[in-house]
Structure 1
Amino acid sequence: MKVVYDPRHVFYSPKNELNGYEMIDNIDKPGRIETIKEILQLKYGDIIVGSKDYPRSYLYFVHSSDYVNWLKEKQYTLEDNQEYFPKVFGYDMCMDTKTPVGKNTFEMAWISAKCSLTGASLLLEGEELAYSCSRPLGHHAGITYCGGRSYFNNAALAARYLQKNGDIYIAILDLDFYAGNGTQEIFYEDNTVLTISIHGNPSNHYPYISGFEWEIGENEGRGYNINFPLKDGINGRTYLRVLEKALLEVEDFDPDFLIIPFGSNTHEKDLTTTFNLKDNDYREIGEMISYLNIPKLIIQEGGFNSQINEKVVDNLFNGLNI
């Protein structure tokens, strides 16, 4: 196993987000990733590798040129410590007020994406498991927009990078509390990428507009998008039964690689969400995933409590039998 980590992520430090009409502290802090990196390094030793460099043109594997240029140009209009929030939805290429654009946002999001691309390259080199310990997150970013604290879709970029190297089929299994709406949109008409997401019901939770059961893909992608929206308050037993169904779908698809956008925000002590998974449930999640004999890339998504992150990731990797 290798863990991809880039220390420059500490320079991504958004200050605010808009909650209705109220400006509140942004919860995506550098410490949440530092804690994970430290526990894995202490536990497994010399497994940390840095991110590689890639052409920025790789962003266009997934995102439109209009969106990439919008994000890049927007940061150039800002002063140090200034943050921009969308003013007119539909004009600005951002779907919410949780995703501020700062002076270095484009570069920080690109560094996060490069961690995922590096993880994908490790799989091509023969690694059976790689973990992208990166931020900001990515699974809410769509073709033409940012949102949900996501700017570039790390999982989608990794998938397209893998496919650049041959006739390759990918399964993406999103295990963050919130639906991977951006990933779903990107591959919605694609039958070479199976997208599955287990998440809180979007009737009550972000992103509200996507992640429902009836969204199954379109055209050639029909049947290749699967959502498992779950009700509030579920326990680990219920979650693991749903995960078993999801893994059977992955097995039936028989992909060459499995990408797992992962969030620790399904834990019972995460006060921002409503699932009740306990520490030991993550060990079982790891065990169930490990039964699939497929090279795997895990990409860190949500989870903004450092203490929870430490317990969740520790148990997950215990289950993966590293």
Structure 2
Amino acid sequence: MKRFFDDRQLRHAPARELHNGDWTDHAETVARPRSILSALDDWQPVRDFGREPLRAVHDDAYLDFLEGAHAEWIAAGRTGDAIGYTFPVVRRRALRLDRIDAKLGAYSYDAGTPITAGTWDAAYWSAQTALSALDRIAGGDRSAFALCRPPGHHAGRDYLGGYCYLNNAAIAARRAQALNLGPVAILDIDYHHGNGTQDIFYADPDIFFASIHADPRCDYPFYWGHADETGEGAAIGTTLNLPLPRGTDGAAYRPALDRALAAITRWSARMLILSFGADTFVGDPISHFALERDDYREIAAAIAALDLPTLIVMEGGYAVGELGANVAAFLDGF
């Protein structure tokens, strides 16, 4: 399986986030990709597919904001990372907003996803990493791994959050559609629900989205990922949410995985995008499942048994000391 990463993804280095009512060191650090890079070798170069595949998923205005936000922050006399503090409680209106603080609130939903001087470059090349791995599959490979960092599955069409800025899995899925690789299914097995991915495809009958994640009644992102969210309009039935309680171990996880895989099979998918988060690990510092390393091998083997061309896109995972070995175990099992 070919593996893709670009060093420009290391330019994003946020210092802190607001968590549980106080400032804390940011969990999504450059140590995460470095742990994975040290555990695996033979990385492939990343191609630049330009901005068009990003525009197929994200609003132009949002992309412009994301590219220029940190410069606006500095121009306003600020220092450090740009982070919002005012968030609309109703659907955002099409307003002209001049102050960077207002824009940050309009295009984000939490105070844990700051924009640094290197965020745009890192997010851009993270998306290009997913596209490069997809291109390998379009060329005939059965699978490929995109070490995407920053991650992407919390980013929506016009918002950032959950450490995510561009939705790498969604960008790859739209590109796969354009290349006639579909029908495309997305399976998200990060600890946290992929709310941005769900939002992007919630009314799209041509993309199937399944997610196995922590119960949002008590875990981030709270407002998405409940079992009664199944799609809307012509897409009712193309979203499957399988929330699980804290403490879920490998044995309790497997029935939900089997249910998701059966749904993907029934949907007759011809291409799978896998949002893989290793924050389901028992030792993850910000998550609360109890999967062990051997569970990753078994989960990966079960997914591989679908026998679909599969793009594996890296999402979360914050037990940095174990992360590289966990990802290697997953890819080995696949």
TM-score, normalization: structure 1?
0.94
> Quick one: which of 104, 113, 125 aligns to 1:99?
113
Alignment correspondent of 2:257: 243
* Distance (whole Å) between structure 2 residues aligned to residue 110 and residue 75 of structure 1: 15
Q: Deviations over 1:2-57 (max 9, x none)?
A: 0011112222111111125422111111121122122221xxxx3x1111101213
Matched, 1:277 2:303: no
**Counterpart AA for 1:250:** I
Q: RMSD of the TM alignment (CA)?
A: 1.5
Alignment correspondent of 1:18: 18
Percent identity at matched positions?
34
TM-score, normalization: structure 2?
0.91
* Distance (whole Å) between structure 2 residues aligned to residue 266 and residue 200 of structure 1: 9
* Distance (whole Å) between structure 2 residues aligned to residue 315 and residue 84 of structure 1: 36
* Distance (whole Å) between structure 1 residues aligned to residue 310 and residue 230 of structure 2: 24
Matched, 1:82 2:96: no
- CA gap of 1:167–1:114, structure 2 versus 1, over 3 A, is closer
**After the TM superposition, which segments of 4 or more aligned residues of structure 1 sit over 3 Å from their partners?**
78-81
Alignment correspondent of 2:332: 318
Matched, 1:30 2:30: yes
* Distance (whole Å) between structure 2 residues aligned to residue 158 and residue 81 of structure 1: 34
Structure 2 residues without counterparts, runs of 5 or longer: 89-104
Q: Determine if contact 1:110/1:152 at 8 Å carries over to the other structure.
A: yes
Q: CA deviation at 1:314?
A: 2.3
Q: How does 1:1-322 map to 2 (within 5 A)?
A: 1-41=1-41, 46=42, 48-79=43-74, 82-90=80-88, 91-166=105-180, 168-320=182-334
* Distance (whole Å) between structure 2 residues aligned to residue 14 and residue 50 of structure 1: 25
Tell me the SS of whatever aligns to 2:126: helix
Give the count of matched residue pairs.
Answer: 315
Structure 1 residues without counterparts, runs of 5 or longer: none
Q: Deviations over 1:235-263 (max 9, x none)?
A: 11010121011111111112121011111
Q: Which moved more, 1:303-312 or 1:211-220?
A: 303-312
- CA gap of 1:9–1:167, structure 2 versus 1, over 3 A, is closer
Q: Which moved more, 1:236-245 or 1:70-79?
A: 70-79
- CA gap of 1:72–1:8, structure 2 versus 1, over 3 A, is closer
* Distance (whole Å) between structure 1 residues aligned to residue 56 and residue 107 of structure 2: 18
Tell me the SS of whatever aligns to 1:265: helix
Q: Determine if contact 2:247/2:290 at 8 Å carries over to the other structure.
A: yes
Q: CA deviation at 1:220?
A: 1.4
**Counterpart AA for 1:299:** V
Q: Which moved more, 1:139-148 or 1:52-61?
A: 52-61
* Distance (whole Å) between structure 2 residues aligned to residue 317 and residue 208 of structure 1: 30
Q: Determine if contact 1:264/1:308 at 8 Å carries over to the other structure.
A: no
Q: Determine if contact 1:62/1:157 at 8 Å carries over to the other structure.
A: yes
Alignment correspondent of 2:99: none
Q: Which moved more, 1:18-27 or 1:198-207?
A: 18-27
Q: CA deviation at 1:304?
A: 1.7
